[in-house]
Structure 1
Amino acid sequence: MTTQRRHKTNPGRFFEDYRVGQTIEHAVPRTVSGGERALYHALYPARHALYSSDTFAGACGLPASPLDDLAAFHVVFGKTVPDVSLNAVANLGYAEGRWLKPVWPGDTLRSVSEVIGLKPNSNGKTGVVWVRTTGLNQNDEAVLEYVRWVMVRKADPGAQVPEPVVPDLAKAVPADRLVIPDGLDFSTYDFTLAGEPHRWGDYEIGETIDHVDGVTVEEAEHMLATRLWQNTAKVHFDLTFRPEGRLIYGGHVISMARALSFNGLANAQMIVGLNGGAHANPCFAGDTIKAWSEVLDKAETPAPGVGAIRLRLVATKGGDPFRLKNDEGRYLPEVLLDLDYWALMPL
């Protein structure tokens, strides 16, 4: 008698497996705790006071210090990887991101994605997939939403694929659509404890800030971070997929650059909007990440003492600060990240 072999493992989705309108419920909800915060602050030089101190957060009208906004993003993002980007060549960009509710220790997060766009590449081997992902807590309340697009391999280069659908995405989240956490109040904000005296009114549109410091990325810390967020993308672990080196998770670069931005933007406390982003060039272990920011816009909010500031955060691995693209409009080879986000800052 011949025993039939049954394959129970999941090879991940390939480009031809997606359809516009498809909804994907991602597996393995994650209950977060103070442990995530401690590990996040160990991996990155994160020092923003609102995410470091229950007392400081309480003085700003919150019941306690929430989980770091990017830590929540990484958890929600990590849930999607086995279904969206397990067979990715590269994560290409972000848009229309909003943080909708704080994430507290004890919350359980899960993720749901909708496929909103597909475009095969001319090489016949890959295509671009756009998904809108929502992170939900244990009460089915949305805590985070964003769009990302990723280049995914085809399993069969000859497979038929649907007609291209490229979504029309907003260039920026309008300031009046930013969600301010309930109770947030910066009217008695303690600038001494926060670490810098600079408030919303001290920043001018067009101003650039060199964050000065740098951090050399180590292989071990990247592997730990990527596993912490349960990100299973093969390019981050398996050298047979990237013989030139394991690709550093783009979120690791985002968090490192955001943490470095404390020097000059210590009072840009909460990220509430993600307007756009590009991982301009790959990052590998041994690269030294530095960062600079540009003020793109400012807006008042209805919350007492709270202003919104739109920032471009650029991570580099060398070169002169404030240089982004060449004369042809291409990112310079030393640029790793170009991120456009909204943050909340005391007036």
Structure 2
Amino acid sequence: MKTNAGRFFEDYRVGETITHAVPRTLSGGERAFYHALYPARGALYSSDEFARACGLPAAPLDDLIAFHTVFGKTVPDISLNAVANLGYAEGRWLAPVYPGDTLRSVSEVIGLRENSNGRSGVVWVRTRGLNQRGEAVLEYVRWVMVRKRRDTPAPAPVVPALAPAVAAADLVVPAGLDFTGYDFPLAGEGHRWGDYAVGETIDHVDGVTIEEAEHMLATRLWQNTAKVHFDATFREDGKRLIYGGHVISLARALSFNGLANAQMIVALNGGAHANPCFAGDTLRAWSEVLDKAETAAPGVGAIRLRLVAVRQGAAPFALKDAAGKYLPEVLLDFDYWALMPR
């Protein structure tokens, strides 16, 4: 048999390394398509001249382009038979990605646990994205619920201990980044690092109704082959699940209104796709400032943000119920560090 039905839960072993197929060379085309799919307007990623004024050689590709590309490479080996992608932790952007760079992905299986229903299990992997020089540009942990193939004995459970957040001291600031001459009018907002307070919440005001065609284009763009995103017969409800990365990018783009100067994502502390998202949902976003830190780079501060995406009907700034369970309108809970002019 020459075709590949994908891995099932019982096919994984803790400690194995998986080299993912099909490296991808990125170009300005990915940037243009990304900005067509999402209302992304970050000045550092839009203008070579703005980026050069901030000490970089040119405008890098959006941080989430790197994430989606590295993630997409892993899908045929990790989540082709996924029920759902569950969460993220210990993510760090280690170097900017520029047009012309070629990315590939390598993952290590670090945890396995069968679900109580015996029909699926959770797989934890640590993934690294490497460029054409073998340099790591991105690393993260994610865990995904994967179907079992048959009624087979489960391996002994191994659940990795993961850090609750990336320490500010471990953030990687791109070489040469300098915000001392940052042009606030060109960036679109005047709010700087010192204008935000820990505990502050920001309603990003705008909304986007998700259409089937857009999320299908996005999923194909990142070469994500997970069946739940394409095959309407794969779920009992007959719906195609929206790729979680599509929700992340939409929410991040909406956060421009109020956080236009949170220019670069440099760490992913944690993330949960709290509830499934489907075509027809109208997505809105709000943020909470969780922490702030200085960096050694001139004029550059780090801000830790919780980005929450919700669908229509959500109460303002509501996240969980009294029992600590995500409210049904909450789609995404995304905890990250970004760099901002001080």
User: Structure 1-normalised TM-score?
Assistant: 0.97
The aligned counterpart of 1:336 is 331
The aligned counterpart of 2:195 is 202
CA distance in 2, matches of 1:309, 1:284: 31
The aligned counterpart of 1:346 is 341
Specify which of 139, 145, 156 is matched with residue 139 of structure 2: 145
The aligned counterpart of 1:307 is 301
CA distance in 1, matches of 2:84, 2:192: 37
Matched, 1:283 2:277: yes
The aligned counterpart of 1:4 is none
Secondary structure of 2:71's counterpart equals: helix
The aligned counterpart of 2:182 is 189
The aligned counterpart of 1:121 is 115
Specify which of 259, 263, 267 is matched with residue 265 of structure 1: 259
Secondary structure of 1:75's counterpart equals: helix
CA distance in 2, matches of 1:198, 1:239: 44
What whole-Å deviation, never above 9, does each CA across 1:182-205 have from its counterpart, x for those lacking one? Answer: 000000000000000000000000
The aligned counterpart of 2:54 is 60
Secondary structure of 1:133's counterpart equals: strand
- Report the CA distance between 1:328 and its aligned residue: 1.0
Specify which of 159, 162, 170 is matched with residue 177 of structure 1: 170
CA distance in 1, matches of 2:37, 2:206: 16
CA distance in 1, matches of 2:3, 2:297: 49
Secondary structure of 2:44's counterpart equals: helix
What whole-Å deviation, never above 9, does each CA across 1:212-260 have from its counterpart, x for those lacking one? Answer: 0000001001000000000000000001112331000000000000000
The aligned counterpart of 1:325 is 320
Matched, 1:253 2:256: no
Matched, 1:226 2:232: no
Show the 5 A alignment for 1:233-244.
Answer: 233-242=226-235, 243-244=237-238
What whole-Å deviation, never above 9, does each CA across 1:249-278 have from its counterpart, x for those lacking one? Answer: 000000000000000000000000000000
- Report the CA distance between 1:136 and its aligned residue: 0.2
How many residues get paired? 340
What whole-Å deviation, never above 9, does each CA across 1:112-146 have from its counterpart, x for those lacking one? Answer: 00000000111110000000000000000000000
Secondary structure of 2:270's counterpart equals: strand
CA distance in 2, matches of 1:54, 1:204: 31
CA distance in 2, matches of 1:335, 1:197: 30
Letter in 2 for 1:235: V
Specify which of 285, 289, 299 is matched with residue 295 of structure 1: 289
- Mapped contact 2:233–2:239 kept (Cα < 8 A): no
Letter in 2 for 1:186: F
- Report the CA distance between 1:161 and its aligned residue: 2.6
CA distance in 1, matches of 2:61, 2:181: 22
CA distance in 2, matches of 1:127, 1:266: 39
CA distance in 2, matches of 1:320, 1:65: 37
CA distance in 1, matches of 2:273, 2:119: 21
Secondary structure of 1:132's counterpart equals: strand
Secondary structure of 1:95's counterpart equals: strand
CA distance in 2, matches of 1:227, 1:219: 12
Letter in 2 for 1:121: N
CA distance in 1, matches of 2:324, 2:101: 43
CA distance in 1, matches of 2:257, 2:98: 26
CA distance in 2, matches of 1:309, 1:85: 31
- Percent identity reads 81
Secondary structure of 1:192's counterpart equals: helix
- Report the CA distance between 1:162 and its aligned residue: 1.6
- Report the CA distance between 1:160 and its aligned residue: 2.2
CA distance in 1, matches of 2:282, 2:308: 13
CA distance in 2, matches of 1:328, 1:116: 30
User: Structure 2-normalised TM-score?
Assistant: 0.99
- Report the CA distance between 1:181 and its aligned residue: 0.3
The aligned counterpart of 1:111 is 105
- Mapped contact 2:96–2:174 kept (Cα < 8 A): yes
- Report the CA distance between 1:316 and its aligned residue: 0.2
Letter in 2 for 1:137: N
